Amino acid sequence: MKIYENDKEYVGLLFYGTEHTNTGEEHNDFQYIYEVHSLKEPSAERIKELDKFTSEFDVKQFRKEYGHSDQYSLHKVYWYCSNMFSTVDKKLGLKRIIQFSDNSHPHQNNNDYQRLALNKAKDVMDIGIKIDLIPLYKKGDKFDYSEFYSDLLMLSLDEVHIFPNSADTFDEILLAVREKVHKKRPYTHLNLSLSDECSISCSVYNLVRECPKPTKIKLDKKNNVETTTITHRYAPDTGEVLFDSDTKLAIDVCDKRVVFEQDEVKAIKKFGSTGMKLLGFKSMSCLKPYM
């Protein structure tokens, strides 16, 4: 799904509540956490690994390789996920933790772990990382958000009823994930300037647009390596290579060629800020009916 949506996004996978861990000696505090995939762009190799993992799933092999333990702490899980995001050197448009759980009240008998998990979840969301919960439970059971996760996710009573209340089939779980993945980015921003010190901003969204085809990638037929296109301009009389400073834009006006410098072309494109500016007020009597 990430490949179709945006192949430049970073995706990682980890299990928590495992008996074994692979976080290394430098992460001794993060026990009962097993990092399956680090945070990287999705690739064909990873998709094949996950496909093999799900199609050839063996409970005995899973217990042998990962194991299970109830000694985990959710605050360390969120802490480790936050550290995974900090290792990415590029700017991410959306940081999100999708958590799958069949336990509506973890740390039920440990008030310290509950308090630490609530505080860490708040810290994670304060730095711009969103936490989404996908409940997993058998048919006929119920996942009660009010026991713990309503406080952790800071949900109101109305928002609790919006969350999925049943996961009878895997298709419903996938549908919930698709709904959460949907992005809404503003097309542009318009400012209504009331004065030099005060302005109101309005975001414009495009609700329906054509889905373009991906851009073509040219490959070298000898080694199948991506090629780079380089464009040069030549003087027609001498054949000399022209630089950007040697080329200018011009337009013919009344049999006369008007030449523009590069700085002038940039200044023409940006002659003011985008938006509307309030110039003043007039009496209602000035507003004619035909207007």
pLDDT at 256 (0 to 100): 93
Nearest to 185 by CA among 209, 159, 149: 209
CA distance 218 to 127: 40
| DSSP assignment of 118-187 | HHHHHHHHHTTEEEEEEE---TT----GGGTHHHHTT--HHHHHHS-----SHHHHHHHHHHHH-----S
CATH hierarchy code of domain 2-181: 3.40.50.410
Where exactly does CATH 3.40.50.410 map onto the chain? 2-181
Q: What is the pLDDT of residues 46-101, one digit of tens each?
A: 889 999 988 888 899 999 999 998 889 999 999 999 999 998 888 887 899 989 98
Q: What is the pLDDT of residues 228-278, one digit of tens each?
A: 888 888 988 888 998 887 888 899 999 899 999 888 888 888 777 778 888
pLDDT at 161 (0 to 100): 61
Q: Tell me: pLDDT of 196 over 80.
A: yes
DSSP conformation class of 286: G
Q: What is the pLDDT of residues 90-119, one digit of tens each?
A: 888 789 998 998 888 899 889 999 999 999
Q: Give CA separation, 103 vs 72, 152, 224, in Å.
A: 13, 14, 49
pLDDT at 190 (0 to 100): 87
pLDDT at 171 (0 to 100): 67
pLDDT at 188 (0 to 100): 84
Where exactly does CATH 4.10.970.10 map onto the chain? 188-286
CA distance 60 to 248: 72
CA distance 107 to 116: 10
CA distance 11 to 194: 44
In this prediction, what percent of the chain has a pLDDT beyond 70? 86
- Please report which confidence band the pLDDT of residue 15 belongs to, taking 50, 70 and 90 as the band edges: very high
Is the whole model's pTM more than 0.75, yes or no? no
The domain 188-286 is classified under which CATH number: 4.10.970.10, 3.30.565.10, 1.10.1040.10, 3.30.450.20?
4.10.970.10
pLDDT at 34 (0 to 100): 92
